[in-house]
Amino acid sequence: MLFPERLHQFTKEHADALAALACGLFLFCGWFALHLGFLGWALLLLPIAYVIGGYESAREGLTTLIKEKELDVDLLMIVAALGAAGLGLWRREYYLIIDGAILILIFAISGALEGYAMQRTERSIRSLMSLTQDTARVVRRGNEEVIPIKQLQVGDEIIVKPGELIPTDAVIVEGYSTLNQAAITGESLPVEKTVGDEVFAGTLNGYGALKLKLHQPPESSLIQRVIRLVQQAQTETPPSQQFIERFERGYARVIVIAGILLLILPPFLWNWDWETAIYRALTFLVVASPCALMAAIMPTLLSGIANGARQGILFKNGAQLEMIGKVRAIAFDKTGTLTTGLLEVCEVIPTSEYTKADVLKAAASVESRSEHPLGLAIVKAAKNLDWQAATEVQAFPGQGIVGMIDNQEVLAGKNDFVKKYVANLPKNLIEIATNLELQGKTVVWIAEKRWGDGELGAPTTEREWGLGAMGRWGGGEIERWGERFHPTIPLTQHQVLGIIAIADTVRSQAAETMSRLKKLGIEQIVMLTGDNQKTAESVAQELGVDRVYAELLPEDKLHVIRRLQQEYKTVAMVGDGINDAPALAQASVGIAMGTAGSDVALETADIVLMADRLEKIEVAIRLGKRTQAIVKQNITIALGFIILLLIGNFLGEINLPIGVVGHEGSTVLVTLSGLRLLKN
């Protein structure tokens, strides 16, 4: 990018801050010129400060006045500043022009800071769109064609190769594979899909090639619905923001009307002269201007944001720092949030004849040839053991895997798969496996073929054994390949080595965090997940979660959040995946796990836990509650000063300079009060 383009982009992104900086510079130069007695230069520089610092506020204020017939704080601020300048010129008390410029400068700085704090990125939709393919491979007239997604029609057949993203929602008509649906449903394990099953756009195909048939228009796909839900939830103005806008306009209207009445009525009611009435009315506009009220909120929120950033908590919206202190219910996504999102071996149970190391080594030998997530978890668990990779490995999709190690056959797989090789599984292991599965864990059985002694000795190669109809070793009678073996003597048998339990492990700090949140006053803790009910209930029981909603799609999570908001008003949602984006956007406060979180979750959420530490949620809530308390204190101080100054002005006990000093003093005081949040 060329320098002029970079400069243009920089000025566009930081226009408010640059305007405030220029306003301050011209204000200082004007004050310095006035101090040195160069009145002409002062009267040239100070109006420039007014124009630069007050242009945006004046434009917004006049736009609101003309289009909406409403007065707001922006216009009131300009009127107060111009009133001070006009009075200074009239009475030749030119320092009043500086007072007006200071008012504008303070408001310009506040607007710039608010713009930085409140700015919400629009990259979330672009991040969602990156999950969808631009093209699809379609079979037409017997040939494969690559066409844009928008040209797909219901009934088209689509080819998806291993490792590719599913381009749009469709139904499998040919093939078998496992799909990683974590981006859509949040399921921690890849899901096996075969003919007749529906697949979703944005999910990742595994090892098998698939032929799909389009059963609905591409714009009706699940990922497109997620995009629309995020857009809708983000554009809804929260009630708190509506209240703030109404308050600002109501306050400005009252002050302007009161200023006009103070200008007109006293000469008739109390025989004030018109000069005094005008002077008191202008002083009223200055002391009643809401700078202190504005400073009561934004510096406090910005200090809290800085505090949170130092602790690994990114508040993307200043209002949400205050909002999180009001949260009464929190909904957690399970996979990647309450759990690590990574499969790990959690238990190894051998039979009495073997050790845990024996089971792990045998399993790792065959699973090292597999790309299945369960196999990767087993290999990782056995990384410190001495084992060799199996040969002649054959995978049975959805069932298990078989391989040869030193002329011995080892197999790993599901219960039903192992039963084909082992006549009677150990009863104690069956009971243990059943309990583990009820806890939401996946159980892998490990067995090994033991060579027996035939009439003329054991065979030396696989080819000398007969292959059964299923392509595996048989027991009992075998098909004879030569005269060396008696056809009726059982030469081999399979024996179970043990079982391995694999699960998406719960975060170590999750249970303690749930307990602390309840002590902090959170009334309801809810878990939302796309996983099955058994797994969800197992995790919920371990953590002490109040409610569980399982087998949810993204739009289902959104509906749950809406129901919780009806019951508890202020609800936080904690998630990390694309599937959480609509719920994060709908929640009163959306919290994303930063390191593991998807781009769209991070961009949609109001708060990001950069270190992926759940205990930071408690820190964020405590910071929010402290922010609430300081904001209330600051508002009380600001209103107190305004009331005292107004009374003094009405009684004639203060002049305009004292009013400005009181006004600026209260602003500085509440600003310093807000900076207390910089301390942990």
Does position 375 have pLDDT exceeding 50, yes or no? yes
Q: How confident is the model at residue 654 (pLDDT cuts 50, 70, 90)?
A: confident
Based on the residue annotation, tell me whether 580 is a catalytic residue of this protein: no
Catalytic residue among 72, 156, 333, 504: 333
Which three-class secondary structure state does DSSP give residue 530?
Answer: coil
DSSP helix/strand/coil, 494: strand
Query: Which positions ≥6 away from 69 have C-beta within 8 Å?
Result: none
pLDDT value at 602 more than 80: no
pLDDT tens per residue across span 45-80: 999 999 998 888 888 878 877 887 776 667 777 877
Residue partners of 603: CB distance under 8 A and separation at least 6 = 121, 123, 124, 127
How far apart, in Å, are the Cα atoms of 643 and each of 205, 247, 263, 389? 67, 17, 18, 82
Query: Can you count the helices (H) and strands (E) in the chain?
Result: 22, 22
290 class by beta-carbon count within 10 Å (0-12 exposed, 13-18 middle, 19+ buried): buried
For residue 16, what pLDDT is reported? Answer: 83
DSSP letter at 475 equals: S
Dihedral angle of Cα 647, 650, 656, 658, to the nearest 10 degrees: -30
625: which 2 tokens?
A: 């509650």
Q: Given 3-state DSSP classes, what are the helix, strand and coil percentages for the chain, each rounded to the nearest 5? A: 55, 20, 30
Tell me: pLDDT of 459 over 50.
no
Residue 336 has what DSSP assignment? I
**C-alpha–C-alpha distance, residues 324 and 620, integer Å:** 7
Structure tokens at 260: 């006009």
Q: How much is the pLDDT for 118? A: 46
Q: Give CA–CA dist 526/304, Å, rounded.
A: 27
The string of pLDDT tens digits covering residues 466-522 is 333 333 333 433 333 333 333 333 445 678 999 999 988 888 889 999 999 999 999
What span, in angstroms and rounded, lies between the C-alpha atoms of 63 and 75?
Answer: 10
- Percent of the chain scored above 70 by pLDDT? 80
| Measured distance CA(221)–CA(241) in Å, rounded | 33
CA distance 367 to 657: 82
CB 107 within 8 A of CB 294: yes
Question: What per-residue confidence (pLDDT) applies to 242?
Answer: 59
Cα 348 to chain centroid, rounded: 35
User: What is the model's pLDDT at position 185?
Assistant: 54
- The yes-or-no verdict on residue 152 having pLDDT over 60 is yes
Region 294-300 average pLDDT: 75
Structural domains in the chain plus CATH codes: 135-222 (2.70.150.10), 300-339+507-623 (3.40.50.1000), 340-451+492-505 (3.40.1110.10)
CB atoms under 10 Å from CB of 99, counted, come to: 23
pLDDT the model gives residue 455: 38
Residue 265, pLDDT score: 87
Other Cβ atoms closer than 10 A to 422 = 18
pLDDT tens by residue, 399-415: 889 998 888 899 999 88
CA distances from 32 to 29, 91, 644 (A): 5, 20, 32
Q: What is residue 572's predicted lDDT score, i.e. its pLDDT? A: 94
- Ranges of beta strands (E only) in 556-652 are 571-575, 589-593, 607-609
Residue 230, pLDDT > 70, answer no
Structure-block tokens of residue 359: 């089971």
Return the percentage of the chain with pLDDT > 90, whole number: 21
Tokens of residue 443, six digits: 């159980």
In the predicted model, is pLDDT for residue 454 greater than 90?
A: no
CA distance 599 to 123: 9
Per-residue model confidence (pLDDT) at position 596:
47
Q: For all residues of the chain together, what is the average pLDDT?
A: 79
For 411-445, the pLDDT digits (tens) are: 999 888 888 888 788 889 999 998 888 877 889 99
Q: If we measure between CA atoms, which residue out of 244, 301, 288, 118 comes closest to residue 671?
A: 301
Q: What is the mean pLDDT of residues 647-660?
A: 74
159: β partners: 137, 211
